Amino acid sequence: MTSSEHLPGSSDLTAHLDRAGAEAELFDLLRIPSVSADPSHVPDMARAADFLRAKLETLGFTVRVDATSHTGKGGQTVAGHPVVFAQREVNPNLPTVLIYGHYDVQPEAPLEEWVSPPFEPTVRGGRVYARGSTDDKGQAYAHVRGVELLLSQGDLPVNVKFLLEGEEEVGSPSLAAYLRDNVEALKADVIVISDGSRFAPDVPTVTYGLRGLSYVEIHVQGANRDLHSGSYGGAAPNPINALAEIIAKLKDDQGRVTIPGFYDGVEEITPAEREMWAKLPQDDAAFAASIDVPALPGEAGYSVLERLWARPTLDVNGIWGGYQGEGSKTVIAAKAGAKVSMRLVPGQDPERITQLISDYVPTIAPEGVKVEVKSLHGGQPIKVDADSPFVQAAGRALKRVYNRDAAFARTGGSIPIVADFRSILGAPVLLVDFGLNEDAPHSPNESFALEDYHNGILTGAYLLQELGQVGESEQ
C-alpha cells in the first residue's frame, strides 16, 4: 500500500492547483525589491514582510512581524530586518512542522546585464525572470501556496509554523539571537527548508548536506598616498602586486588550500557516498559547457561532485585597488584589497578557519606592505541524517509529484543559520530543494521555472501529509 492510499480525498492535488493565482501572487512579491544588503531598501524589507503577514493571515495563521537586532563590530546595537513568524495550530497532538525561508534577495547588479528589469517579473519560455525568483521567494512561497492548497481541500494534517527572515543574504546576523529569544514559540518536530537547487531537472532531490562558510577581507596598505609610478616604481612597495602574490600563494598547483591546519579534521567522504554519487547522472563536460568553460580546475584526486559537496575550498570573490577608469594612469596605489570566501565541510569550524587565515596571510605577505584580515561572517557546515523518517517522508512526497525516486545529494552552497536550528531549537532539518543551478541565483537574469514552482507547491502539500503520517506512526 502506498502512503497516498491512506489519505482519502487528497491523494492527488494536481487538479486543484490554481496555477494562475499562485503565479500572480508570487509576482507581486517579486516586485518588491527586498535587497537586504542595501540600507536604501529598508522600507522595501518592511513591505515584503507585510505582504507575507497579510497573506498568512488570510490562511488563518496568527502572524507576528518582529523587529530584530544584533550587536555590531564596535559593540553597538544594529537594527536588523524583520522576521515574519506565523503559526496555525490544528491539534496539539499532531506533529509541528516549521517552514523556514528568506524573503530578502541579493543585490540586482549588474543591472545592464538583465534582459528584463530585475524587479519586474517577466515570463519567457516557461520561466519567471526576477531577482529572488528561485532564491528564495519562489521556493518559500511554494510552501505558502502548498498550505493554501491543503486548506482548500480540508484541514492541515500537521501544525504549521513559518519563519521567514530578511537577512539570509547578509549572513543572518540577527537570527541566532532571535531563535534563542523565541525557543518556545519556534518549537517544532522538524524544520523544512527549500532554499537550494535539486540535482538535475529530472531528478527530485532531498539534500542532506550544506557547506559552511568563512568570509574575510584582506586589506593591503603600501605608502601613505598614491605614488607616481615613474618616480617610485621599482623601489616602493606595490600593494596590488603584494595582494596578487598573497592570493596566488593561498592555493597550490594541486588545487589545495595552503593555509596550515586548513584540512585538519575534515570528514572523509565515505565509500558508500562515493558510490552513491558516482551513480548520479553527472556529466562533467555538460556542466563545463553550461557555463562556457573549457575545463574544470579543482582539487586533484576528487571528482567534480566531491569537490563541490564534500571538499572545502577558497575563492576570491572581489578585488580592488588602483586606477579603474578609462585609459591609463601611471600610479602605484596606496591600498588594495580582496574579499575571500572559504567553503567549509563537516569537521571544520568557521571561527577556527578565520583565525588560521588571519594568522597565515601576514606570513606570506611580501616586504614593505601592511596586511590586515577582517572577518565578515561565517557559518557551520551541516549534514542531515539521511536515514531519518523525515527524509523518508520527503522521498515519498517527491515520488508522488515526480513519479520517480528522489536522489539524496549534498550541495555546495551555505545556509549558515541551519546549524543554529539544530543547536538552538534542537529540531532536525529537512532540505527539499525546488530550484536548479541553471536558475542563476545571485546572477543577472535569475529565474525560476513555473513548472518547478507548481511542483514545489504540490511537494509542499504532500510533504505535510507525509510528515503527519510520520507523527502518527511514532505516537
Binding site for ligand BES (CB under 6 A): 135-136, 168-169, 171, 195-197, 213, 379, 411, 413-416
- When the beta carbons of 130 and 213 are compared against ligand BES, the nearer one is 213
- Could you tell me the smallest distance in angstroms from the CB atom of residue 444 to ligand BES? 15
- When the beta carbons of 70 and 370 are compared against ligand BES, the nearer one is 70
Region from 194-202, 256-264, 272-280, 422-430 binding Mn ion, contact rule CB under 5 A? 194-202
- Could you tell me the smallest distance in angstroms from the CB atom of residue 119 to ligand BES? 18
Cis peptide before 117 (omega within 30 of 0): no
DSSP assigned state of 365:
S
- Could you tell me the smallest distance in angstroms from the CB atom of residue 377 to ligand BES? 6
Residue 104's binding partner, choosing from ligand BES, Mn ion, none, with beta-carbon cut-off 5 to 8 A by kind?
none
Residue 416's binding partner, choosing from Mn ion, ligand BES, none, with beta-carbon cut-off 5 to 8 A by kind?
ligand BES
| Cα(204)–Cα(227) distance, integer angstroms | 57
DSSP-derived 3-state class of residue 201: coil
- Could you tell me the smallest distance in angstroms from the CB atom of residue 171 to ligand BES? 4
155 is catalytic: no
- Could you tell me the smallest distance in angstroms from the CB atom of residue 240 to ligand BES? 26
- Which residue has cell 509554523? 161
- When the beta carbons of 105 and 227 are compared against ligand BES, the nearer one is 105
Q: Does residue number 433 form part of the binding site for Mn ion (CB under 5 A)?
A: no
- When the beta carbons of 144 and 308 are compared against ligand BES, the nearer one is 308
- 127 DSSP β-pair partners: 124, 449
| Cα(175)–Cα(289) distance, integer angstroms | 38
Residue 452's binding partner, choosing from ligand BES, Mn ion, none, with beta-carbon cut-off 5 to 8 A by kind?
none
Which set of grid coordinates corresponds to residue 268? 572523509
Number of residues that this document lists for the chain: 475
The closest of 67, 82, 58, 56 to 161, measured between CA atoms, is 56
* Sign of the alpha-carbon dihedral angle for 299, 301, 303, 305: negative
Size of site (CB under 5 A) for Mn ion = 3
- 318 DSSP β-pair partners: 339
Region from 2-10, 135-143, 352-360, 447-455 binding Mn ion, contact rule CB under 5 A? 135-143
- When the beta carbons of 238 and 455 are compared against ligand BES, the nearer one is 455
- Could you tell me the smallest distance in angstroms from the CB atom of residue 413 to ligand BES? 3
Distance of CA 400 to the CA centre of its chain: 26
The closest of 186, 202, 184, 204 to 194, measured between CA atoms, is 204
Q: Does residue number 195 form part of the binding site for Mn ion (CB under 5 A)?
A: yes
Interface pick for Mn ion out of 135, 165, 306, 446 (rule CB under 5 A): 135
Give the active site residue among 44, 135, 165, 168: 168
Amino acid (1-letter code) at residue 108: E
104 is catalytic: yes
Region from 84-92, 131-139, 368-376, 418-426 binding Mn ion, contact rule CB under 5 A? 131-139
Q: Which helix (H) or strand (E) holds 208?
A: strand 205-210
Q: Does residue number 167 form part of the binding site for Mn ion (CB under 5 A)?
A: no
- Could you tell me the smallest distance in angstroms from the CB atom of residue 104 to Mn ion? 9
Judge whether 350 and 378 are in contact, CB under 8 Å. yes
- Could you tell me the smallest distance in angstroms from the CB atom of residue 330 to ligand BES? 38
Other C-beta atoms lying within 10 Å of the C-beta of residue 330:
11
Judge whether 188 and 97 are in contact, CB under 8 Å. yes
Burial zone of 454 (CB within 10 Å; 0-12 exposed, 13-18 middle, 19+ buried): buried
DSSP-derived 3-state class of residue 117: coil
Region from 30-38, 64-72, 133-141, 259-267 binding Mn ion, contact rule CB under 5 A? 133-141
Edge-to-edge strand order for the sheet containing 335-344? 313-321, 335-344, 212-221, 370-379
Residue 411's binding partner, choosing from Mn ion, ligand BES, none, with beta-carbon cut-off 5 to 8 A by kind?
ligand BES
Residues whose CB is less than 8 angstroms from the CB of residue 18 and which lie 6 or more positions away in sequence, other chains included: none
Region from 189-197, 216-224, 277-285, 419-427 binding Mn ion, contact rule CB under 5 A? 189-197
The closest of 379, 247, 371, 359 to 312, measured between CA atoms, is 379
Longest dimension (CA), the chain: 84
- Which residue has cell 561572517? 377
Which set of grid coordinates corresponds to residue 179? 531563535
- When the beta carbons of 213 and 336 are compared against ligand BES, the nearer one is 213
- When the beta carbons of 192 and 333 are compared against ligand BES, the nearer one is 192
Q: Does residue number 136 form part of the binding site for Mn ion (CB under 5 A)?
A: yes
Residues whose CB is less than 8 angstroms from the CB of residue 183 and which lie 6 or more positions away in sequence, other chains included: 424, 425
- When the beta carbons of 346 and 413 are compared against ligand BES, the nearer one is 413
Residue 413's binding partner, choosing from Mn ion, ligand BES, none, with beta-carbon cut-off 5 to 8 A by kind?
ligand BES
Residue 446's binding partner, choosing from ligand BES, Mn ion, none, with beta-carbon cut-off 5 to 8 A by kind?
none
Residue 204's binding partner, choosing from Mn ion, ligand BES, none, with beta-carbon cut-off 5 to 8 A by kind?
none
Q: Which residues bind Mn ion (CB under 5 A)?
A: 135-136, 195
Q: Which residues are catalytic?
A: 104, 168
